[in-house]
């Protein structure tokens, strides 16, 4: 058993599913916890940084599995973490509609980009940077046009047009994503080579306990952050 097997298992439907759940939970936690902290600090590039973190998390999965289709599932789990606000604070699902749209469009865009560029991305850091940047630009356009029809908030309406949004926000998303995507990919490659000790001599048990523990921390910390007003 190694770290790559624990976090990025190559075989087994159940282990593949747990990989999606673990990475999606981590991404969702960053949206809720870090996103709330950045908003409180009035960080001007919050959306760009959160987008890039999502890209980096998905890059970990790509490096270990080379399965672009996994990214859609990771995005759905991350969006579900954001939706914790609905049962926790008893608010409408529309309160987080745009956040979920952003996450899903990011996952879909990188899934498509990596499906087209997987071989190049596996060999070249520049291909990873370019693929992430293009995916971020596509995600920003998709987010705007979907969001403006589903949940036309003041933030989206302030841009006036999709082109203006892509230029003012999308380019920031692309810049941050291009920088962080290679780091996530490298982390995924490194994890596949680092030994991971099994639990009580039972590798399978160690894997599942570790995965469930990570998810519990991610979902629990996200719920606490929501309760605290983040």
Domain ranges of the chain: 3-227
Global confidence as pTM: 0.86
Which helix (H) or strand (E) covers residue 73, if one does?
helix 70-82
Predicted pLDDT at 194 = 57
Main-chain dihedrals φ then ψ at residue 140, nearest 5 degrees: -65, -40
Rounded average pLDDT over 38-66 = 92
* DSSP character string of 136-196: HHHHHHHHHHHHHHH---HHHHTT-SHHHHIIIIIHHHHHHHHHHHHHHHHHHHHHTTSB-
State the average pLDDT for the chain. 87
Q: Token pair for residue 110?
A: 């990188």
Residue 4 has pLDDT above 90, yes or no: no
DSSP state for residue 34 in the 8-state scheme: I
**Using one digit for the tens of pLDDT, what is the confidence trace for 11-29?**
467 777 888 999 999 999 9
Tracing tokens 């499906």 back to the chain, one arrives at: 115
**Which conformational region is residue 136 in: left (phi greater than 0), alpha (psi within -120 to 50 degrees), or beta?**
alpha
Helix and strand counts by DSSP (H, E) for the chain: 12, 0
Q: How far apart are CA 223 and CA 12, in angstroms?
A: 31
Out of 78-87, 143-152, 192-201, least confident range: 192-201
| DSSP state, residue 199 | B
């Amino acid at each position: 058993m190694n770290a790559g097997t624990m976090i990025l298992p190559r075989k087994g439907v159940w282990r593949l599913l747990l990989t999606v759940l673990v990475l999606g939970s981590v991404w969702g936690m960053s949206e809720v916890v870090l996103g709330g902290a950045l908003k409180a600090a009035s960080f001007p590039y919050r959306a760009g940084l959160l987008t890039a973190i999502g890209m980096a998390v998905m890059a970990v999965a790509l490096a270990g599995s080379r399965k672009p289709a996994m990214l859609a599932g990771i995005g759905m789990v991350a969006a579900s973490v954001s939706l914790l606000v609905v049962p926790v604070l008893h608010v409408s699902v529309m309160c987080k509609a745009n956040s979920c749209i952003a996450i899903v469009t990011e996952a879909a865009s990188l899934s498509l980009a990596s499906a087209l560029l997987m071989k190049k991305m596996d060999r070249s850091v520049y291909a990873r940077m370019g693929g992430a940047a293009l995916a971020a630009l596509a995600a920003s356009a998709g987010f705007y046009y979907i969001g403006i029809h589903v949940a036309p908030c003041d933030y989206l309406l302030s841009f006036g047009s999709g082109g203006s949004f892509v230029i003012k926000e999308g380019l920031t998303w692309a810049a941050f994503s291009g920088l962080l995507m290679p780091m996530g990919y490298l982390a995924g490659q490194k994890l596949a080579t680092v030994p991971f000790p099994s639990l009580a001599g039972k590798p399978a048990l160690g894997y599942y306990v570790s995965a469930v523990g990570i998810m519990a921390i991610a979902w629990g910390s996200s719920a606490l952050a929501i309760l605290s007003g983040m």
